[in-house]
A and B are shown apart, each in its own frame.
Chain A
Amino acid sequence: MAMIEAYGLTRKFGQITAVEDLSLEVGEGEVLGFLGPNGAGKTTTIRLLAGIISPTSGYAVVAGWRTDGIVEQLHEAIGLLTETPGFYDHLSARRNLEFYAGFYPSITITSQVEKYLKMMGLWERRDTKVGTFSKGMKQRLALARALVHEPKVLFLDEPTAGLDPEAAREVREMVKGLSREGRTIFLSTHNLAEAEFLCHRIAVVKTRLLALDTAENLRQRLFRRQIVVQLESLPGTVIEKVARLPFVRRVEPGEQRLLVELDDPEKNRPELVQRIVEAGGRVMAISEEKHSLEEVYLSLVRENGP
């Protein structure tokens, strides 16, 4: 069942098109990574899907509710972590959370606030003014705020932006935990490693949707799989013999190693090793060279102009 559906979603600000013809579906319990350069329309998309702004054309349905209609029911079903999480600095963490929780009729405020302050490791600091919190603590509190009413769908806009590595890791672990609970998560991020670690599928956007698939499929779609063969030494006969094999598309010799592009790596790999040995090569190791998600991302973004 799709929890997020967008159909031709477009948003213009005057002459500028921030989001163009975005269509996608996110299933229940799925974590979708939303990647794109600055100004690609990531935050605008989140605002459109969260019913905070209206589309110029197209529409979206989130948790069964149209996002361009009366949004009260939609807002009961979603949680939003904004890019810059703001709080009432003079109030304590507990009071802040109680305030936001107070808008949802279906929850018991006290127990929910306690549950999420404990989950985010802030229970001991519950009566401390938020103004004294570190950025990481504020981010965890913002996550608690997004979750306090048990939303089915979570929109996370750059949840680890500006955090130190330790705090970022903590937040990532929490998001991973939420994903294990089966929540649908729409995660906008610049951090490609984070997207790969957390997301089932990845959408690359630059105003328009450039690609939407698993990280692995995106890699395969853009780059051929390559085998790296480490050799004790690299005689010329080995290179010649390998290059003549019918299933080999390309050979790139390096220092004591061969980079080989195969038709079907799983099927062709044993025969490749056999031929190298027959040609006098001594194979030390064999592995597959993986393109990073960064390469995939950059390739997609550059392909689609400045």
Chain B
Amino acid sequence: MTGRRLSNILRKEWRVLASDLNNILLVTLLPLLILGELILMIWLISRFGGEAIANNPFFKGALEKLVATLSSTADLPASDLVRILLITQFNFFFLLIPTMIAMNSAAFSIVEEKTSHSLEPLLATPVRTWELLLGKALSGAIPALLISWLCAGLFLIGIAGIGWGYLLTCAINPSWFITLFLLTPAVAALSFLLGVIGSSRAKDARSAQNLALFIIFPVFGLIAVQVTGVVWFSPLLTFVLGLAICLIDLLVLRVAVRLFQRESIIIKWR
């Protein structure tokens, strides 16, 4: 029965999403802009700062870790090593895509139900709170995830397009796959769950969006940690991080259900 209720929520949410051009643009255009920016940034850094990176003592350590992790890179020249470092280190930027979509769509998910007065009839159906919240979170997380994967594919095409295709065999390593197929889904779910929590606690649409801004900080933290090389995300560490975020997802879902107080939402919202 839960499956039927969840798919019912997903169908409705996707119909609502598809009925609004702004929503479609948000889900598709924003990730493509991030992707284009990412490819441009990698190319610019490599083109104008590649040598500096190769000789910088701070990045030297990162390059040594790269060679130690990916034995196939051992014989490559320093310029190619920098390129591979850039390609792999910007992996976590794909985490930004679901997070940014969540900031908007998840933030409005419950607030919109409140403002349109559709929440009370919905709560009078046999739907359970956790089904409603999970359905809302998944309805945003699934398309955001698909878009993230599409962007990852386009990223590889873009990298090949700037003439670095020969490096892809080294760049597409186990960490890449773990990031894309474990870490990104976990972060997508987390972002949307946090967005839904914010939405259910917010007094209005504006405060919902303000609360949603906080979702992005942990992701920025992860990106900063990876890009600066403070922590070297080996496949094992990436895997452990992915699992940890999956567990956090479950915990956050429980918290979301506790925080979603049907009574106060219905009574306080007029």
Contact B4–A87 (Cβ < 8 Å): no
Contact with B along A47-90 (1 / 0, CB 8 A): 10010111000000000000000011101101010101111111
Q: How far is the CA of A87 from the CA of B266 in the complex (A)?
A: 16
Q: Which of B15, B120, B128 is close to A95, meaning CB atoms less than 8 Å apart?
A: B15
**B131 nearest CB neighbor, chain A only:** A103
Q: Determine how close the nearest CB of chain A comes to the CB of B97; give it in whole angstroms.
A: 24
B116 touches A89 (CB 8 A): yes
Q: Are B8 and A88 in touch, CB under 8 angstroms? A: no
Residues of B within 8 Å of A105, CB to CB, are 1, 4
Tally of B interface residues using CB under 8 Å: 28
Highest count of chain A CB atoms <10 Å: which of B113, B121, B267: B121
Q: Find chain B residues with CB under 8 A from A52 CB.
A: 120, 123-124, 262-263, 266
Q: How far is the CA of A52 from the CA of B123 in the complex (A)?
A: 7
Interface size class, chain A: 20 to 34
A133 contact set on B, CB distance < 8 A: none
Given A82-B121, A145-B121, A103 contacting B12 (CB threshold 8 A): no
List chain B residues, Cβ under 8 A from A80: 120-121, 124
B11: chain A residues at CB < 8 Å are 99, 102
A53 touches B15 (CB 8 A): no
Contacts of A142 in B (CB 8 A): 121
Q: Is A100 positioned at the interface, with any CB of B under 8 Å from its CB? A: yes
Indicate which residue in A72, A85, A89, A103 contacts B8 across the interface (CB closer than 8 Å).
A103
A91 at the interface (CB under 8 A from B): yes
With known contacts A72-B128, A75-B126, A90-B19, A99–B8 Cβ distance under 8 A: yes
Task: Report the bound CA distance from A99 to B11 in whole Å.
Answer: 8
Are the CB atoms of B266 and A103 closer together than 8 Å? Answer: no
Q: Are B267 and A82 in contact, CB atoms less than 8 angstroms apart?
A: no
For window 92-117 of A, CB contacts with B under 8 Å fall at 95, 99-100, 102-105
A53 to chain B, nearest CB (A): 5
Main secondary structure on chain A at its contact with chain B?
A: loop
Which residues of chain A (267-283) have a CB below 8 Å from chain B?
A: none
Contacts of B124 in A (CB 8 A): 50, 52, 75, 78, 80, 82
* B119 in contact (CB, < 8 A): yes
Given the known inter-chain contacts A82-B117, A82-B120, A91-B12, please indicate yes or no for A54 contacting B4, CB distance below 8 A.
Answer: no
B25: A residues at CB distance < 8 A: none
Q: Is the CB of B16 within 8 A of A102?
A: no
Q: B1-29 toward A: CB 8 Å interface, digit per residue (1/0)?
A: 10011001001100110011000000000
Q: When the two chains form their complex, are residues B12 and A99 in contact, meaning their CB atoms are under 8 A apart?
A: yes
Please report the C-alpha to C-alpha distance between residue A82 and residue B20 in the assembled complex, in whole angstroms.
26
Does B236 reach chain A (CB closer than 8 Å)? no
Contact of A53 with B263 at beta-carbon distance under 8 Å, contacts A82-B121, A87-B118, A145-B121 already known: yes
With the chains together, A262 CA to B102 CA distance in Å?
75
Contact A72 B262 (CB under 8 A): no
Complex CA–CA separation, A80 to B119 (angstroms): 12
A72-B128, A103-B5 given; A86·B19 CB < 8 A? no
**Assembled-state Cα–Cα distance A89/B121 (Å):** 15
Q: Is B237 an interface residue (CB 8 A)?
A: no
Measured in the bound complex, the distance between the Cα atoms of B124 and A71 in whole Å is 9
Q: In the complex, which residues of chain A have a beta carbon less than 8 angstroms from the beta carbon of B121?
A: 80, 82, 85-86, 100, 142, 145-146
A142 to B116 Cα, complex, angstroms: 13
Residue of A nearest to B124 (CB): A80
In the complex, what's the smallest C-beta–C-beta distance from A253 to chain B, in angstroms? 53
Q: Is B125's CB under 8 angstroms from A88's CB?
A: no
A75 cross-chain contacts in B, Cβ below 8 A:
124-126
Closest to B122 in A: A100
Taking CB atoms, residues of chain B closer than 8 Å to A146 are: 121
Which of the listed residues A82, A84, A87, A104 has the most CB atoms from chain B within 10 Å of its own CB?
A82
Nearest A residue to B8 via CB reads A102
Within the complex, the shortest CB–CB distance from B116 to chain A, in Å, comes to 4
Q: Which residue numbers of A lie inside 8 Å of B, CB to CB?
A: 13, 47, 50, 52-54, 71-73, 75-76, 78, 80, 82, 84-91, 95, 99-100, 102-105, 129, 142, 145-146
- What are 11 residue pairs bridging A and B, where the CB atoms are less than 8 Å apart in the complex? A50-B124, A75-B126, A76-B126, A82-B117, A88-B12, A88-B16, A89-B116, A95-B15, A104-B126, A142-B121, A146-B121
Closest CB pairs A-B (n = 4): A86-B117, A102-B8, A90-B19, A86-B118
